[in-house]
């Protein structure tokens, strides 16, 4: 006949009525509970890291079945009893959503230097004067030079380097084109600060970024979260940056998309 202590037999692992559960800001649950068994009983071997709480606590509702043993410690108590204190962790979203605990979206506006001839107003000003546009672009690239008697754009000519071949013989000015002559030929401007917009998705989960997440890097992509887009500008979103920092059982990862004017190239789709 097996030994009995306070109604506990050698095959019993008795949960104490001190189950405690809490949830942190990232959505991760932590729980604890004590268990009693006969001192020296092999039943305590059933407790190991990763053991589901449902195999130890038949009195808990199924909503807590996502919890697993994280750590435990044993201590002897009076009366031939061993008390095992067990800590559990987990999230109810682990299987269905890759353990996503928190998702945030953020928009950031930045500027980046771009060639001045790519400015939308420059392109619009020379839509009907392609030779003058070509001449200014070549001046920016040090492939041409301008020559004239005064700083005024009137009667200036633009010549090809190194052949001195004339690209155009007379500047046809107007209120839209003259400021570009001033900027490029007189002031020497070659770049401008173009506005750019970045949309970031930050996530904390267990699985981290997947191969599907990585595949669009550098290409056209549709970011989640319905990001706002600048009005009056045609463009597309490029997956421009990503990160994945991992600790035990947890990943903090980000995906960042950058708004790009125009249409994506064939190799960016």
Q: Over the stretch 68-78, which tens digit does the pLDDT of each residue have?
A: 999 999 888 88
Query: What would the pLDDT profile of 101-152 be if each residue is shown by its tens digit?
Result: 678 999 999 888 999 999 989 999 998 888 889 999 999 999 998 887 555 5
Token pair in block for residue 266: 């064939």
Indicate the average pLDDT of the chain: 84
Judge residue 268's burial from the number of C-beta atoms within 10 Å of its C-beta, 0-12 exposed, 13-18 middle, 19 or more buried.
middle
**Nearest by Cα to 264 from 243, 240, 241, 242:** 240
Q: What is each CA distance from 62 to 18, 32, 50, 57, in whole angstroms?
A: 18, 17, 17, 10
Query: What would the pLDDT profile of 88-112 be if each residue is shown by its tens digit?
Result: 998 775 444 444 567 899 999 988 8
Q: What is the pLDDT, as a whole number, of residue 262? A: 80
Residue 128: partners with Cβ closer than 8 Å, 6 or more residues away: none
As a whole number, mean pLDDT of residues 174-195 equals 89
DSSP conformation letters of 193-244: EEEEEEEEEEEEESS---HHHHTTBTSB---SS-----TT--EEEEEEEEEE
**Nearest by Cα to 158 from 133, 150, 167:** 167
* Rounded Cα distance, 209 and 137, in Å: 43
Q: What is the pLDDT, as a whole number, of residue 8? A: 64
> Is the confidence at residue 28, as pLDDT, over 50?
yes
């Amino acid at each position: 006949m097996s030994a009995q202590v306070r109604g506990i037999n050698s095959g019993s692992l008795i949960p104490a009525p001190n189950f405690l559960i809490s949830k942190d800001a990232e959505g991760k649950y932590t729980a604890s509970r004590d268990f009693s068994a006969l001192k020296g009983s092999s039943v305590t071997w059933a407790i190991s890291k990763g053991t589901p709480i449902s195999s130890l606590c038949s009195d808990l509702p199924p909503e807590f079945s996502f919890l697993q043993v994280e750590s435990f410690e044993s201590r002897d108590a009076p009366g031939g009893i061993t008390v095992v204190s067990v800590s559990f962790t987990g999230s109810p979203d682990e299987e269905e959503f890759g353990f996503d605990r928190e998702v945030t979206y953020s928009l950031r506006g930045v500027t980046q230097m771009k060639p001045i001839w790519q400015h939308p107003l420059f392109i619009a000003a020379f839509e009907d004067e392609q030779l003058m546009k070509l001449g200014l672009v070549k001046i920016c690239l040090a492939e041409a030079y301008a020559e004239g008697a005064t700083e005024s754009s009137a009667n200036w000519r633009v010549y090809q380097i190194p052949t001195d071949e004339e690209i155009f013989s007379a500047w046809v000015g107007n209120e839209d084109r003259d400021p570009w002559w001033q900027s490029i030929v007189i002031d020497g401007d070659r770049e401008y600060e173009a506005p750019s917009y970045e949309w970031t998705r930050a996530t904390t989960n267990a699985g981290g970024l997947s191969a599907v997440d990585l595949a669009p890097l550098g290409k056209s992509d549709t970011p989640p979260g319905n990001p706002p887009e600048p009005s009056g500008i045609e463009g597309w979103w490029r997956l421009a940056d990503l990160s994945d920092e991992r600790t035990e059982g947890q990943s903090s990862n980000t995906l960042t998309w950058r708004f790009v004017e125009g249409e994506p190239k064939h190799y960016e789709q």
